Amino acid sequence: MNKINKRDTFKSKIGTIAVLAGGCVGLGNIWRFPYIAGENGGAAFILIYLAVSLCISIPALLSELALGRNQRCNAFRVFRKIKDKHPWKNSGILGIITGFLIFSFYCIIGGWALKYFELAIMNDFSGKSTAELSESLNNFIQGGIEPYLYGIVITTFTTIIVGIGVVKGIERLNKILMPLLIFLLLILVINSIFFLPNSREGLLFILKPDFSAVTWNTIFQAIGQSFFSLSLGMGAQVIYGSYISEKDNLIKTAVSVSLIDMSIAILCGLAIFPAVFSFNIEPTAGPTLLFLTLPNIFTQMTGGYIFAILFFALVVFATVTSTVSLFEVSVSYVMEEFQIRRRTACLWVFFALLLLSFLVAESQTKDSSLVFFGKSLFDWFDQITSNFMLPLGGIITVIFAGWIAPKTLLKDELTNKSTLTTNTKYFSVIQIMIKYVSPFFLILLFLELIGLL
Ligand code: PHE
């Protein structure tokens, strides 16, 4: 087992979908999508999101999966193996660096979730006022060392899973956690919709179509969100693609994963916003929503003790399945480029991340010296990766798959060498999306994000 150069393959179709969906479902689904949807026209936004996914993100996802499965190697080597003389041959390194940087702050947020899971079990929210909850959150984050220690727990768990291997570690974990996550989510949704007073208002917030709230900016928001949510532009899907069986239908897999990812995001909204409105609280997003607004609501809700535990368990599951995918990007790179065993590579990456995430956690402490131009290292990493590196990585990948790689690559992978007749029929449409539509909109998004549009 775990021999260098022997490539693992996911064992089952359902396992493959669980792994890919696990990599996609994360904080983006929980604390970002529902809020953006609510603020940008509810169902109108969801429709735009669907269209954007079909025309822009799914083609990008297909490009990454196809490149990975075709070359069966890490996300850096893929480009070199396909065109070793092309000026872009080293561009895969961008994805490896992006994944590494994202991990360094994502594990800290995972640590916050773990801490809040523990607080929920200890019934710590109960009886606290909003001001007290806010103070304890600030003390915790600004304490630096505690979030770091919780982050280490997340990183250690991730290292163990990835160290066990692709099938026995990664596939098995996702096959257990993803159904569990959906189960927890459904319990929370049912409680929010049927048992909370005045849940209608929250439902209307996310579901009522309001086309007047849709602007150009809405479309950019939809593209950015769906891109982040599907974990594109940083090699995660390339590396997962490299473990997909040759017999699997990539188009079906990509569409299923994107539908699951979107459905979970909508369900998160249905769990969260009826509760927010039911207690007359202003809707918010991000850390404030998870670590302030919701604990505050749980203290007031009937059965809040149990629901808080279920909710933070769900957040921890969602983060861990994502950190595993991020970690695998670096590990497969180190393994194959330095020709070392999986477990040794895991240790290298683990120690490197211990160091970097320490700096990230430290940058959030009071009077930290790791604040540059008014922003902590944490915020810099977050913003540079989401607003610059991910879209750039995405553009490079779709252009590479559509224009630079041999013409037969995409067709062979997306139609399993023309043996899948339905896929063959639609291939030319998908090819147009990959070659023209997806790069065009991703370039627009990139220009918008760096302020040139
Ligand atoms: N897709 C994850 C989310 O929605 C974030 C992520 C991005 C995870 C890139 C891995 C890689 O939260």
Residue of 20, 24, 226 to test ligand 1 pocket, by largest number of atoms within 8 Å of CB: 24
Give tens-digit pLDDT for 208-250: 999 999 999 999 999 999 999 999 999 999 999 999 999 999 9
Q: Kindly report the number of other CB atoms within 10 A of residue 156's CB atom.
A: 13
Q: Quick check: helix, strand or coil at residue 372?
A: strand
Q: Which of 259, 221, 263 is nearest to 444 (CA)?
A: 221
Residue of 322, 381, 386 to test ligand 1 pocket, by largest number of atoms within 8 Å of CB: 322
Query: What distance in Å separates the CA atoms of residue 205 and residue 280, rounded to the nearest whole number?
Result: 13
CB 94 within 8 A of CB 264: no
pTM, entire model: 0.95
- In the prediction, which pLDDT does 135 show? 95
Residue 233 Cα: closest atom of ligand 1: 9
Would you say the CB of residue 16 lies under 6 angstroms from ligand 1?
Answer: no
State the distance from the centre of ligand 1 to the C-alpha of 100, rounded, in angstroms. Answer: 12
Give tens-digit pLDDT for 372-399: 999 999 999 999 999 999 999 999 999 9
Q: What backbone torsions phi and psi does residue 8 show, to the nearest 5 degrees? A: -80, 160
Q: Kindly report the number of other CB atoms within 10 A of residue 7's CB atom.
A: 12
Give tens-digit pLDDT for 128-180: 999 999 999 999 999 879 999 999 999 999 999 999 999 999 999 999 999 99
- The structural domain count of the chain equals 1
Q: Widest CA span of the chain, in angstroms? A: 65
**Residue 1 reports pLDDT greater than 90:** no
Instruction: Specify which residues 376 forms β-bridges with.
Output: 371
Would you say the CB of residue 409 lies under 6 angstroms from ligand 1?
Answer: no
DSSP 106-130: HHHHHHHHHHHHHHHHTT-STT--H
Would you say the CB of residue 236 lies under 6 angstroms from ligand 1?
Answer: yes
Residue of 35, 57, 181, 228 to test ligand 1 pocket, by largest number of atoms within 8 Å of CB: 228
Would you say the CB of residue 22 lies under 6 angstroms from ligand 1?
Answer: no
Q: What percent of the chain has pLDDT over 70?
A: 99
Query: What distance in Å separates the CA atoms of residue 407 and residue 429, rounded to the nearest whole number?
Result: 15
Which band of pLDDT confidence, cut at 50, 70 and 90, is reported for residue 361?
very high
Would you say the CB of residue 326 lies under 6 angstroms from ligand 1?
Answer: yes
Residues 6+ apart with CB under 8 A from 136: 128
Domain that holds residue 317: 3-449
Which band of pLDDT confidence, cut at 50, 70 and 90, is reported for residue 7?
confident
State the distance from the centre of ligand 1 to the C-alpha of 396, rounded, in angstroms. Answer: 19
Would you say the CB of residue 240 lies under 6 angstroms from ligand 1?
Answer: no
Element (H, E) at 375: strand 375-376
Residues counted in the chain:
453
In this structure, is the dihedral angle defined by the CA atoms of residues 312, 316, 317 and 322, taken in order, positive or negative?
positive
Residue of 96, 97, 229, 320 to test ligand 1 pocket, by largest number of atoms within 8 Å of CB: 229
**Residue 3 reports pLDDT greater than 80:** no
Which CATH number does the domain housing residue 19 bear? 1.10.4160.10
**Residue 2 reports pLDDT greater than 70:** no
Query: What distance in Å separates the CA atoms of residue 349 and residue 356, rounded to the nearest whole number?
Result: 10
- Tokens representing 432 are 């147009």
- In the prediction, which pLDDT does 453 show? 83
Nearest CA to ligand 1 atom 7: 231
Which residue in this structure is represented by tokens 């070359």?
71
